[in-house]
Amino acid sequence: MAAAPTILERPQRWDAAFDADMTDADVERLLATAPFSAMDAEKFPKRTPLREILRNDTRILKFRKGEIIVRQGDYGTSAFLILNGASRIVLKPDLAPSLLGRQAPGKKGIFRTLAQLWNGSRPPETFSRSQLQQAAGLGARQTQKDVRVFLQDLPRILSEHRTDTMTAGDLFGEIGALSRMPRAATIFADTDDAELLEIRWQGLRDLMKYSDALRTHVNKIYRERALASYLRATPMFQHLTKEQLDRVAEQVEFATYGDYDWSGEYKRLAQAGTVRPEKEPVIVQEGDYPNGIVLLRAGFARLSQKFGGGERTLNYIGAGHHYGLREIAHNWRHKDAPVNFKFSLRAIGYTHLLIVPTRVMEEIVLPSLPKSDLPPPLEIVKDDLDSPPHAEKGVRENVGVEVLEFLTENRFFNGTASMVIDLDRCTRCDDCVRACASTHDNNPRFLRHGPTTGSLMVANACMHCADPVCMIGCPTGAIHRESFAGQVVINPDTCIGCKACFNNCPYDAIRMVEIRDKNGEFMVDQEMKPITKATKCDLCVESYGGPSCERACPHGALTRLNLNNLDALSKWLKL
Amino acid sequence: MKRFRRQLLLGVFALIAATFAALWAHRRFHHALPDYAFLTGWVLFVAMFVLTFFNARKKLPFLPLGKAETWLQIHIYLGFFTVVLFLIHLNFRLPPGWFEITLAWLFALVSASGVVGLFFSRTLPRRLATRGGEAIFEKIPALRHALKTAAENLALGADAQSPFIAEFYTRRLAPFFVGPKNLWLHFFESRRPLNALIAELDDLRRFANDAEREKIEKLAALVRQKDGLDYHRSLQLALKLWLFVHIPLTYGLIIFTLLHIVLVFGFSGGAR
């Protein structure tokens, strides 16, 4: 007899409020504060009323003078509205990495490199007491809910850096929150009574949706600060005059698809084995008339085509790529024989995109493009499977459909330096693991094991993601992008072992390790609990010659590949 | 992959060219140079010294000493060429005296174990990848234990209630799950033990009701998984064990070579 099903109330969006301590009084106060006081509550739907958005998608934070609110380069999922007091934004020059909890970029010196010759016998993950003290110029304060890091020598910082003050009513962080871009500047509290409202992205999205004023305000900021520079850097628009570019920018539409917290959802679906393209939000439907070109600003999308009863993945595209140019250019040149979209485009996880309407493309952009920059004519009769968009010629022959499905299902396209192993050549000697351990405190930073397809394995090592969800929520800024090459690294000296990155990583590539003193004894706190640090692959950023795992493989079976696009994989397979 | 084919072609070409050059030099200078054995001996020693550097490179991964892959290519082709140098040094004759014979045997064994290792390294990984069910060698005992527990629960657990399945488990499957099995047969790609066990499990179906048939299916799946683990253990063990022959013998060879040099200089007043 089949077991009786477990009956639950269907999970709702606000089952887990951003801050369970938000009170009715707090909400009332917010409703009386600009810009919420100017919002028309009637415009909000019954399922997501303004009051409930404020109750469930926001939280009130109090900062003391000098406490860092957001760090330049961090990834965040929320915007901030100043309720009381003032905050200060650092304009130029940027704060030193040590003041942001990060390690200064650079290679190990010759003596530190040679010291590894005799440090090999040390116990793993040893730290000195001095390493665990806060860097000069920084202090930390434990609040009831989190850890606040503060700048100690404010007068000196203010004298050495150009800054600007923001006061009650100012909103910041909205572009980073909506477009999943790194924070553009560091902002810290400028008064002891600074009170800020943190609005998580879901709330901000809904507030914008139903409040014309907020939407207009945020879109205006977006167009002024981010859009113009983005369009200028996009090759397709480089032939436009400033006036033409302004006209394009005015008519660009923004859209977000999918779930910002995709990593948690992905983990759940992957465990249940139900990751299916059919469930992903459709951006463009195969067979639809092309109304505009889609530019991916952040996140990833899957190009697929109907195949049997399901969808066959043809490629995935990431930030900086676009879709629809071939079709729109074709229709512009052959008005008598228009074509529709040949593939579907679906958001994988979270996707933030810009849409340039077809009319704008036809009137402004396409006439400006030299003939050589226009896509080749579409051969409508021919099945275009051999040349999916955004892949170099020959990719299809080297990267089979099953590999493509494998990379997409496992979200490996996120990796800019994924560890790929050719099992046909790997002798399982573990030289890569030993090399990693020798280079990193005798503790290997990866597992030579992971999902496989055919003879390809993507090992369980940090992939240095294009969309690094691990960097969201680090209270001390210990996890960050290295400023030169962009590797995601953890500064062990400022990591407090809070597990935020460990819990966020959808690939389980971060490990918490218990640290030891120079005698090999575990370090513990006053409650005798072990002190832990987050560790992961840092691509041997401090060593000469590149990742030691790759250099240590005697059989050329291991490489670090950018799986953001298929070209790198295709080339490696073809080598 | 084309890169490896290119490497192979280049290596083989370089080896053949170097061999012909060495043989030509041997014919040309064999009788012409007064200290010919002294010269070939030192060249051979330098080649062996370079070969041992591959292991040193492995021990120092944090130093920018180039890719291990390049070092291995040098190790392989220089290793083959060292055999040619060795034969030239011996003037293509068997050496006299127990010490030189021991030294020659050590050299032969190191070379042979290297060739075996190369053969293993180039053939066994492909077989492992084809079989699938990738497992880290050190984790195999834990995985095996998990399979054994799962099989035991199926056959002997509280809700088992199938005496013939329990009897079969105790008699045939318990010894199979308890430890690694069929090491050599796996190495030689024999499926006979697995097929026999699966056939015996299939035979049990005639006594089974629907629930018991399902249980037999599950047991068969566990047997296949265990067999896969044994296969991985067998081949991965081979990939590791040859080094336990090659490297200790290399140390022995180095010691004997150094003694050989001392003896040559001590008792013959320099080689002739």
- The CATH number that applies at residue A189 is 2.60.120.10
Q: Does A109 touch chain B (CB under 8 A)?
A: no
* CB neighbour list of residue B111: distance below 8 Å, 6 or more residues apart: B79, B82, B83, B86
Q: Which of A113, A438, A555 comes nearest B69 by C-beta?
A: A555
Query: B149 lies in which domain range?
Result: 137-235
From A390, A422, A439, the end of a domain falls on A390
Closest CA–CA distance from residue B140 to any residue of chain A (Å): 13
Domain assignment of residue B122, yes or no: yes
Residue A146 forms part of a structural domain: no
Q: How far apart are CA B104 and CA B19, in angstroms?
A: 20
DSSP state for residue B72 in the 8-state scheme: H
Q: What are the tokens at A94?
A: 């940027």
- CB contact under 8 Å between B68 and A429, yes or no, is no
Among the partner residues A116, A423, A573, nearest to B129 by beta-carbon distance: A423
Q: Rounded to a whole number, what is the distance in Å from the CA of A405 to chain B's nearest CA? A: 18
Task: Judge residue B192's burial from the number of C-beta atoms within 10 Å of its C-beta, 0-12 exposed, 13-18 middle, 19 or more buried.
Answer: exposed
Contact B58 A431 (CB under 8 A): yes
Same domain, A289 and A356: yes
- Same domain membership, residue A283 and residue A423: no
The answer to whether the beta carbons of residues A77 and A201 sit under 8 Å apart is yes
Is A105 a domain residue? no
In angstroms, rounded to a whole number, what is the distance separating the alpha carbons of residues B110 and B112?
A: 6
Partner-chain residue, chosen from A457, A552, A575, that has the shortest CB–CB distance to B61 = A552
Q: Are residues A433 and A328 in the same domain?
A: no
Any A CB within 8 A of B203 CB: no
- Residue count of chain B: 272
- The tens digit of pLDDT for each residue in B81-140 reads 999 999 999 999 998 889 999 999 999 999 999 999 999 999 999 999 999 999 999 999
Residues of A in contact with B121 (CB under 8 A): 427, 555
Is some CB atom of chain A closer than 8 A to the CB atom of B3?
yes
In contact, A214 and A388? CB cutoff 8 Å: no
**Which chain A residues are Cβ-neighbours of B2 within 8 angstroms?**
574-575
Last residue of a domain, one of A174, A194, A210: A210
Contact A286, A306 (CB under 8 A): yes
Are A416 and A560 contained in the same domain?
yes
Whether residues B252 and B223 share a domain: the answer is no
- Total of domains in chain A: 3
pLDDT tens digits, A265-303 = 666 666 665 555 556 788 999 889 999 999 988 888 888
Rounded to the nearest angstrom, the minimum Cα separation between A442 and chain B is 12
- Provide the token pair at A106: 């650079």
Q: What is the C-alpha to C-alpha distance for residues A189 and A168, in angstroms, rounded to an integer?
A: 12
Distance from CA of A389 to the nearest CA of B (A): 25
Amino acid identity, position B143: L
* pLDDT for the residue numbered A265: 62
Whether residues B94 and B158 fall in one domain: no
**Torsion angle of C-alpha atoms B192, B197, B202, B203, degrees rounded to 10:** 100
DSSP E strand stretches across B15-56 = none
Q: What's the pLDDT at A380?
A: 47
Which chain B residue lies closest to A429 (C-alpha atoms)? B240
In a domain, A402, yes or no: no
| The total number of structural domains that make up chain B | 2
Give me Rg for the CA atoms of chain A.
25
Same domain, B48 and B61: yes
Chain A residues close to B3, C-beta within 8 Å? 556, 575
In a domain, B201, yes or no: yes
C-alpha distances out from residue A74 to A57, A183, A199, A489, Å: 21, 5, 17, 12
Does residue A112 lie in a domain region?
Answer: no
The domain in which residue A39 lies consists of 15-93+161-210
Nearest chain B CA: its distance from A550 CA (Å)? 8
- Judged by CB atoms closer than 8 Å, whether chains meet at B125 and A439 is answered as no
Are residues A425 and B4, on separate chains, in Cβ contact within 8 Å?
yes
**A395 vs B4: which has the higher pLDDT:** B4
3-state secondary structure A515-532: CECCCCCECECCCCCECE
Look at chain A and count its residues.
575
Q: Do B68 and A553 touch (CB under 8 A)?
A: yes
At residue B244, does pLDDT exceed 80? yes
Residue B272 is assigned to a structural domain of this protein:
no
Same domain, A338 and A297: yes
Touching check for A528 and chain B: CB below 8 Å? no
A405 burial level (CB within 10 Å; 0-12, 13-18, 19+): middle
pLDDT digits (tens, 9 = 90+) for A49-107: 899 999 988 999 999 999 999 888 888 778 999 999 999 999 888 888 878 877 776 77
Helix (H, G, I), strand (E, B) or coil at A399: coil
- Chain B residue with the nearest C-alpha to that of A432: B61
Where does A32-145 have alpha helices with state H? 50-57, 110-119
**A426, A557 contact by CB (below 8 A):** yes
Instruction: Give the pLDDT confidence of A123-141 residue by residue, as tens digits.
Output: 888 887 777 665 556 677 7
Residues B163 and B255 in one domain: no
First to last CA, chain A: 56
- Tens of pLDDT, residues A310-325: 777 787 888 888 899 9
Q: Are residues B115 and B128 in the same domain?
A: yes
Minimal CA separation from A265 to chain B, in Å: 27
pLDDT digits (tens, 9 = 90+) for B189-219: 999 999 999 999 999 998 888 989 999 999 9
Whether residue A135 is contained in a domain is answered as: no
pLDDT at A10: 56
